[in-house]
Structure 1
């Protein structure tokens, strides 16, 4: 990594470069490595109070004290490398929104305001795909009022990493005190290898709507059962997979959901009973849903998983999923 001009290390970035992709070298203060310096590459998402925040392509945020900077420069934005099916950021965002549809939505320029009684952040947040058509302060005022009318706090879904276009929005929301939460990854894979896992999928029951036991196993419906059902059953072509529990078990052994939309099959709501884990049931339901999606003409798969869900990440790695982009949510500050 070269930072020198005429043999000298230079810091050639300022707070005016927020939103740009940068490469920096800084003093290693972690204590976990004998190396004196370490490097960071990603989008400069903020520079406030003497601290830089750099978001890497994986969604990881690195905080660096301004006083620790040794060198830095702006570098070209490049698309994230991935081995999964080729797709643009916008294509996947729009596909995912159709596959997990809010019960109510409204357009604000290029933004979509979504609400579903508070059932999941995905269905109760703004999806900013372009300019809102208003100055940002006015747009945010409109957003907060719209969610307040529905008894919800305003929330914005923000993409991060090298492939993202929301770095400036993210930095501005942070400056205004909107808190960061629920960091997640959009992951993609070829569909056929998921179906061709060798799993005996005859154990899996497929239905177009969830039975009474399915939502209970999912465990995220709560007091908004009607809103949850509307979201879960929404989408172009939805399938629910269930592995029934053994005799005496009240809940299914495993469940999952898939929505087919053109070439894409979106997987969600994968859950395995704690008593039945490490039996390959997660692979089983994914394979069965993939088989059905292939019959409907899909060829690519996507899913969204929070970054701290290590068990799910291990399964998805085995099934060939790779990270396409990262995202998180910004929620309005408490009043």
Structure 2
């Protein structure tokens, strides 16, 4: 058995899943299971939900390698909305984050709504009025409009609407999930890189948008791939047991040639190689061509979300 009561896992084990028993500050023993991201004076382990735990190497009591995939994995569709939202946030991390109870305040100098909104899932830990005041002040301090990301029709929408918050333009977004219970082949003609190069970013970032901010946000996940195929692109990240597919784009002159399908196939194939057994993606609700593409890979609806912003105060009555 691959165990050691003295020597902690080293760099030769980075990337593998390990179970580590360690001594906590109060003298008790605790276990953590995850993929080893880094080894040295401290160990960083990524759990199956994508959260990262740090363990001091000197506190390790015993460790062992564990299988990459559990015998019984929780189905993607059974994941609660609040939990899945936190998982997806790890796949598109904001440059700056601040917890507000179970909510999360996110800012990235305006690059994408996902990275510049308060994620209102779970309990903010204080009353709704105080929570919304904290949201307003957080974004005002950064020169950004206040945005709240919440489940469409969920528990927080009514209280916010009652307080003058209104949906922003662009409609709702549907989160789709799939079980990765098979392997997909990597397309021999696709380029799969672990960093976005200038050509990839030029294809994704709209003219006038800050490329450096895009690089920071999109490179914030340790395990990511940037796929290119005949000027078409996609991004896939792996956090714990989850793969997140995004940034799929095919130039208009190259559409209807099967490139999108090949990009998805390669992205999912790469994710399975990294140990993912579930996947998620977000698509604008009602985008039927995109939904048909993804459903062919086994993706099904999980939930919908939308963004709300604070409505401007009405003008004074004459």
Q: What TM-score do you get using the length of structure 2 for normalisation?
A: 0.70
Q: CA deviation at 1:194?
A: 7.2
Match of 1:147 among 139, 143, 147: 139
After TM superposition, give the deviation of residue 185 of structure 1 in Å. Answer: 0.9
- Give the corresponding residue for 1:211: 197
Deviations 1:275-294 (A, max 9, x none): 01111111111111111111
Any conservation in 2 of the 1:185–1:306 contact (CA below 8 Å)? Answer: yes
User: 2:246 pairs with 262, 268, 277, which one?
Assistant: 268
The superposition leaves residues 42-63 of structure 1 with CA deviations (integer Å, 9 ceiling, x where unpaired) of xxxxxxxxxxxxxxxxxxxxxx
320 and 239 in structure 1: CA distance in 2 versus 1, 3 angstrom threshold: same
1:190 to 179, 183, 191: 179
The match for 1:174 is 161
Matched, 1:125 2:120: no
1:100 equivalent in alignment to 2:92:
yes
Change beyond 3 A, Cα 1:305–1:221: farther
Contact 2:221 2:237 in 1 (8 A): yes
Residue aligning to 1:75:
none
Unpaired runs of 5+ residues, structure 1, are 1-82, 245-251
On the 8 A contact 2:150/2:157 being kept in 1, the answer is yes
What is the CA distance between 1:229 and its match in structure 2?
1.1
Deviation of 1:193 (Å): 4.9
On the 8 A contact 1:98/1:236 being kept in 2, the answer is no
How far is 1:296 from its partner? 1.2
Per-residue deviation, residues 240-269 of structure 1 (Å, max 9, x unmatched): 00013xxxxxxx1x1000001121110000
Q: CA deviation at 1:224?
A: 2.6
How much has 1:220 moved relative to structure 2? 3.8
Q: Secondary structure at the match of 1:121?
A: coil
- How far is 1:86 from its partner? 3.1
Residue by residue over 1:1-55, the C-alpha shift from the partner in whole angstroms, topping out at 9 and shown as x without a partner, is xxxxxxxxxxxxxxxxxxxxxxxxxxxxxxxxxxxxxxxxxxxxxxxxxxxxxxx
The alpha carbon displacement at 1:104 in A equals 0.3
Secondary structure of 2:209's counterpart equals helix
Which consecutive unaligned segments of at least 5 residues does structure 2 have?
1-74, 314-318
Q: Tell me how large the CA RMSD over aligned residues is.
A: 1.9
TM-score (normalizing by structure 1)? 0.67
**Alignment match, 2:130:** 138
Specify whether residues 139 and 219 from structure 1 end up closer, same or farther in structure 2 by C-alpha distance, changes over 3 A only.
same
Tell me which residue corresponds to 1:327.
305
Which deviations, in whole Å up to 9, do the C-alpha atoms of 1:196-242 show, x marking residues without a partner?
Answer: 6xxx7111100111111112211347333222111111113111000
Q: Which whole-Å CA distance do the structure 2 matches of 1:193 and 1:217 have between them? A: 30
Query: What is aligned with 2:188?
Result: 202
